[in-house]
Structures are given as structure tokens and as C-alpha cells.
């Protein structure tokens, strides 16, 4: 065991950060103390006490936080009354994130987040060293991911830039769910701020109605929609720029034995390093908006890193599809799993997509007509007329997206319409197979093949695939694992089984 004196404190400059943070956290209490002190006539004494206690807690937090890195473990100890200690083996380190807020950047400090890949849901799946000098943080990142063996000078020369942010990519920001969420949050904060200062109370509904009485609805509605679209797009672009400013993806070291390094951020910079040995695949996501604009985004499937840590696995922000495919091919070491054609799932899977889309829509339409009444059709006829055609278009798109293959040592699966995903998982990352089928799937001779893994969303799903194709894919990928459960007539390739199942005479 390492001696007690090997424990280290964070940088002393954190004594300027912790007290301020505690003051912000205690702000509601401080406001209460201000009101109570003013009412009792002891303003100075009460206010001094209210400020001194949080600042003392901030100082105490610094002096009770220690960390150490031994030859085998990373350990963090904090707290005085409620002592908290985190410890993880070095071989469980999955990612190292180095981030710096504006305050940290002014002081030359960073926060190092060491991802351990545990299944904990109470923030114990990582260790945060909040307050290390920037140079020390980068050196620590190299030590934890074994990047320093070649020495700092040589490692720096081995950096190879894979992709760098192009300012023209901001055009994809309004087409992403993240951009819309950021825009909605910003509009909500703005509305709340206006309401807090009584902005909405000053609006007279009668005057507003009188001033707009002469407006043409045919003119006012399109103008309002255009203004809303402009505002949402501007906010989405702003969020995209703040999040991805300076985005750069580089690779350090030899292929397969180095690491991927990502840097991005305008106000708060963030640097993430992923060890090559931990990256077992990629996910190329193309939501409907991005797909129509010929864009996509790509993230890594990292062993031990859960789906809730998507920010740590991002390899490229929303960008042109060609750029995304190029990055994914670089990470996988071969472009084929990303761009090659996939094996379709046949007419039975396509019929199931239409059935699942049209039947529920028809039920909802009939129920809505019965509840609203025939006399109200003049108001709702457009929604009723478009419901089934839109459902049919979605079903067609979902059916066209279904596909799978075993390419260049990777299990590839694609599905989805509004949020289409193409997963490419290395065979070495597959830790098991699950075959799931509902009663309706069994009637159609289909099943859902799930390749379980220890990274990303913990699974790659091949949806509604013919049973023989599912068994053929699983056996071709891991014959030693699956072969012991199969009889001779099922030992067929994924390609031949997919076509054989869908013959009219089968």
C-alpha cells in the first residue's frame, strides 16, 4: 500500500474557486438571512455570518480533498464528517475528459474526469479531480491511458488530425433534436425572465386584440411561423457553436495501439481521450432532418461506457454524410462496415412495418371521428385525410432502413426512420446473443437478434430479421459460441438464409 504521505491535494488556486461555488449554492439561504437580519435590525452581523459560513465550507472542502495514483489504482478521498472514498483499478479506466470552465481557464486549471465504466447510477462511475494545472492534467491523461511510453515529444509528433470543424456545418444545427432542445430551453428561460419582471402583466389583451383586429390571418400566421423559425434556428446555431467551437479529432500513436483525442467548446473547453483498445465500434445516426440535408453524426461504442455518456463518445458533430462516413471508417480501420450495402430483411419484415404503422393509425383515426362526430369533419378533415398517407410513408421508410451484414469483422445493423441508426460493432466486442420474438413475429417467421456488448447502449439490435438469417449471422460472427446449439440444417450464411426465407415457395 502506498504510504499516507503519497496523498496529494488539488492546486491551491482552488481556494479561489470553492468558496465562490459555495456562496452560489447557498444563495437562497443567504437571501433568507438578509431578510431575517433586516427585520431584526442586526443586518451587519447576520450578513457577515451568512457569507462566512459558505466560504469556510469551501475552504474546508479544499483541505479535505485528496487523491493519489498508484501503480495499480486511482483513488479519491473527500469529506470530513461524511468521509467519501472512491477507488478504481487503472485497467478499468475507459475515458479521460479534461474540461475547463471560464473560471478555470482564467486560473490555468482544469477538471479531469476519469470514466471507470461501472454500472453505478449515483455519480460513482467516474472520478473527478477538480482543480489540476493544465499541464499536469494532460500528463495525467497520458499516464492513465498509457500514452506516455514514447515520451511527450514523440507522442506530439504522432498526432494525426482526422477531422476539424468547418464553420459551414452550422447549417445542420436547426435540423437536430439537440438544437431544438437548446432553442426551446433558451425561449423558456427568456419567457420566465420576462414573466419575473412583470413583462407579461404589462400587456393589455384588449389593446392587443384591437391592434391586430385588422390583420389578415393568411398573412399573420405565415409571418409568425417564419419569425419563430428564424428565432429557433438562431438559438440552435448559437448552441451548436458554443458546444462544438474548435472541434478537432486527432489520433495519437500507432493504429490499434494509440488513442483518439477530441477537443471542443467555446466557453467551457472539453478534451476527451478514448483508448483504441476500448473502442469496439461506431454508431452513425441520421435523424430525418439531417438525412434530408445529407448530414449525420457519429459516436464511438466504447467498452465500459454507458449510453448516458454520449458526450464522451462523440467523434463528429452533425456534419455532411461524407465527412461522417470518413471518420467512422478511420475509427473502424475499414470503410466497408459504414458504406457497403446491407442484406435486406425481405417482404415479411416489410409487411410488418406497414402493419405496425397503419393499424394503430387507423384505430386512432376511427376513434377520433367517432368522438368528435361527423358534423365536425369540416374542421378536422385535413388531419384525417393525411394521417394514413403519412403513416404509410413512415412505414415505407422504416422498411427500407432494415438491413444487416457481417463486414470486415464487424456486425452491422441498421433500422429506424425518424432516428435512423447504423451500428457497426466489432466481433471482439460481442459478449453474447439474444433472440427475442413476440407472438406476431413468430407468426411471420421473424425474430429480433440482439448482440450484447459492454459499451454504448449495451446492445446492437437487428430488428425483424428472418430466423435463419439471425442464426446464420450469429454463427458466422462467433461460430464457437453459437455452433454448439445448432443442428446441421441451420448452419447457413446470413446472406443465403435471408434470401431463402423470403422465397415465395418457402
Q: Does residue 361 register a pLDDT over 50?
A: yes
What the block records as the C-alpha cell of 14 is: 482552488
Residues 6+ apart with CB under 8 A from 16: 107
Residues 6+ apart with CB under 8 A from 47: 33, 34, 37
Q: For 257-280, what is the mean pLDDT?
A: 88
Closest CA to 18 of 95, 81, 94, 111: 111
- Exposure string for 362-400, b = 16+ CB within 10 A, e = fewer: eeebeeeeeeeeeeeeeeeeeeeeebeeebeebbebbbe
User: How many Cβ atoms from other residues are within 10 Å of residue 147's Cβ?
Assistant: 22
β-strands 248-252, 259-264 pairing? antiparallel
- So what's the pLDDT on residue 198? 60
Mean pLDDT is lowest, of 21-25, 149-153, 289-293, 299-303, for 149-153
Q: Does residue 214 register a pLDDT over 60?
A: no
- So what's the pLDDT on residue 493? 46
Phi, psi angles (nearest 5°) of residue 303: -60, 125
Alpha carbon distance 471, 479 (integer Å) = 10
- So what's the pLDDT on residue 326? 95
**Confidence class of residue 409 from pLDDT cuts 50, 70 and 90?**
very high
Q: For 256-261, what is the mean pLDDT?
A: 84
Contact 476, 410 (CB under 8 A): no
Q: State percent of the chain over pLDDT 70.
A: 73
β-pair partners for 424: 282, 412
Residue ranges of the alpha helices (H) in 197-345?
205-211, 217-244, 288-292, 310-313, 321-332, 336-339
Q: How many CA atoms lie within 13 A of 124 on its CB side?
A: 11
What the block records as the C-alpha cell of 373 is: 362526430
Q: Does residue 487 register a pLDDT over 90?
A: no
Contact 432, 449 (CB under 8 A): no
CA distance to 11, 182, 289, 431, per residue, from 247 (Å): 28, 19, 22, 33
Q: How many CA atoms lie within 13 A of 493 on its CB side?
A: 7
pLDDT in tens, 304-313: 665 555 567 8
Q: For 445-471, what is the mean pLDDT?
A: 89
Mean pLDDT is lowest, of 39-43, 256-260, 309-313, for 39-43
pLDDT in tens, 109-121: 999 988 776 544 4
**Confidence class of residue 505 from pLDDT cuts 50, 70 and 90?**
very low
Q: Does residue 25 register a pLDDT over 90?
A: no
Among 142-156, 307-321, 418-432, the range with the most confident prediction by mean pLDDT is 418-432
- So what's the pLDDT on residue 203? 57
Phi, psi angles (nearest 5°) of residue 488: -60, -35
**Confidence class of residue 216 from pLDDT cuts 50, 70 and 90?**
low
β-strands 259-264, 109-115 pairing? unpaired
pTM summary value: 0.78
Alpha carbon distance 377, 371 (integer Å) = 11
- So what's the pLDDT on residue 205? 59
**Confidence class of residue 421 from pLDDT cuts 50, 70 and 90?**
very high
Residues 6+ apart with CB under 8 A from 286: 295, 296, 297, 321, 420, 421, 422
Alpha carbon distance 403, 345 (integer Å) = 6
β-pair partners for 76: 67, 86
Between 201 and 415, whose confidence is greater?
Answer: 415
**Confidence class of residue 461 from pLDDT cuts 50, 70 and 90?**
very high
Element (H, E) at 49: helix 43-63
**Confidence class of residue 495 from pLDDT cuts 50, 70 and 90?**
very low
- So what's the pLDDT on residue 462? 94
Contact 456, 302 (CB under 8 A): yes
Q: Does residue 380 register a pLDDT over 60?
A: yes
β-pair partners for 163: 249
Q: Does residue 39 register a pLDDT over 70?
A: no
Q: Does residue 339 register a pLDDT over 90?
A: yes
β-pair partners for 363: none
Q: Does residue 470 register a pLDDT over 60?
A: yes
pLDDT in tens, 153-197: 344 445 789 999 999 999 998 887 766 676 667 667 666 666 666
Alpha carbon distance 324, 462 (integer Å) = 22
**Confidence class of residue 249 from pLDDT cuts 50, 70 and 90?**
very high
Amino acid at each position: 500500500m502506498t504510504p499516507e504521505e503519497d496523498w496529494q491535494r488539488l492546486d491551491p488556486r482552488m481556494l479561489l474557486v470553492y468558496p465562490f461555488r459555495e456562496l452560489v449554492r447557498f444563495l437562497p439561504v443567504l437571501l433568507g438571512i438578509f431578510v431575517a437580519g433586516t427585520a431584526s435590525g442586526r443586518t451587519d452581523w447576520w450578513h457577515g455570518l451568512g457569507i462566512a459560513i459558505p466560504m469556510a465550507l469551501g475552504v474546508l472542502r479544499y483541505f479535505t480533498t485528496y487523491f493519489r495514483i498508484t501503480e495499480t489504482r486511482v483513488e479519491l478521498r473527500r469529506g470530513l464528517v461524511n468521509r467519501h472514498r472512491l477507488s478504481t483499478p487503472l485497467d478499468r479506466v475507459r475515458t479521460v475528459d479534461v474540461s475547463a470552465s471560464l473560471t478555470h481557464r482564467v486560473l490555468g486549471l482544469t477538471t479531469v474526469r476519469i470514466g471507470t465504466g461501472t454500472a453505478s447510477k449515483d455519480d460513482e462511475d467516474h472520478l473527478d479531480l477538480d482543480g489540476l494545472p493544465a499541464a499536469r492534467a494532460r500528463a495525467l491523461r497520458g499516464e492513465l491511458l498509457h500514452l506516455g511510453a514514447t515520451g511527450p515529444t514523440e507522442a506530439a509528433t504522432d498526432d494525426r488530425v482526422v477531422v476539424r470543424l468547418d464553420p459551414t456545418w452550422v447549417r445542420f444545427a436547426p435540423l437536430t433534436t439537440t438544437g431544438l432542445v437548446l432553442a426551446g430551453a433558451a425561449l423558456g428561460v427568456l419567457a420566465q425572465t420576462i414573466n419575473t419582471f412583470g413583462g407579461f402583466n404589462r400587456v393589455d389583451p384588449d389593446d392587443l386584440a384591437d391592434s391586430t383586429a385588422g390583420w389578415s390571418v393568411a398573412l399573420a400566421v405565415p409571418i409568425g411561423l417564419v419569425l419563430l423559425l428564424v428565432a429557433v434556428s438562431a438559438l440552435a446555431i448559437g448552441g451548436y457553436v458554443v458546444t462544438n467551437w474548435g472541434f478537432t479529432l486527432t489520433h495519437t500513436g500507432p493504429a490499434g495501439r494509440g488513442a483518439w483525442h477530441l477537443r471542443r467548446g467555446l466557453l467551457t473547453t472539453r478534451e476527451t481521450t478514448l483508448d483504441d483498445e476500448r473502442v469496439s465500434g461506431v454508431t452513425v445516426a441520421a435523424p430525418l432532418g439531417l438525412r434530408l440535408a445529407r448530414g449525420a453524426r457519429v459516436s464511438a461504442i466504447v467498452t465500459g461506457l454507458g449510453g448516458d455518456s454520449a458526450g464522451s463518445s462523440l467523434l463528429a458533430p452533425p456534419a455532411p454524410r461524407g465527412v461522417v462516413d470518413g471518420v467512422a471508417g478511420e475509427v473502424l480501420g475499414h470503410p466497408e462496415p459504414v458504406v457497403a450495402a446491407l442484406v435486406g430483411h425481405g417482404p415479411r419484415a416489410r409487411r410488418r412495418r406497414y402493419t405496425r404503422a397503419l393499424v394503430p393509425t387507423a384505430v386512432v383515426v376511427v376513434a377520433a371521428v367517432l368522438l368528435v362526430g361527423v358534423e365536425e369533419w369540416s374542421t378536422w378533415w385535413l388531419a384525417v385525410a393525411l394521417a394514413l398517407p403519412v403513416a404509410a410513408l413512415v412505414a415505407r421508410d422504416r422498411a427500407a432502413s432494415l438491413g444487416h451484414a457481417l463486414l470486415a469483422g464487424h456486425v452491422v445493423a441498421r433500422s429506424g426512420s425518424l432516428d435512423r441508426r447504423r451500428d457497426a460493432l466489432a466481433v471482439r466486442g460481442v459478449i453474447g446473443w439474444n433472440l427475442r420474438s413476440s407472438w406476431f413475429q413468430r407468426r411471420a417467421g421473424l425474430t429480433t437478434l440482439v448482440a450484447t456488448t459492454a459499451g454504448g447502449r449495451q446492445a446492437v439490435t437487428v430488428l425483424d430479421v428472418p430466423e435463419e438469417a439471425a442464426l446464420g449471422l450469429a454463427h458466422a460472427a462467433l461460430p464457437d459460441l453459437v455452433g454448439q446449439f445448432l443442428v446441421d440444417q441451420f448452419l447457413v450464411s446470413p446472406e443465403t438464409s435471408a434470401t431463402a426465407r423470403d422465397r415465395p415457395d418457402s
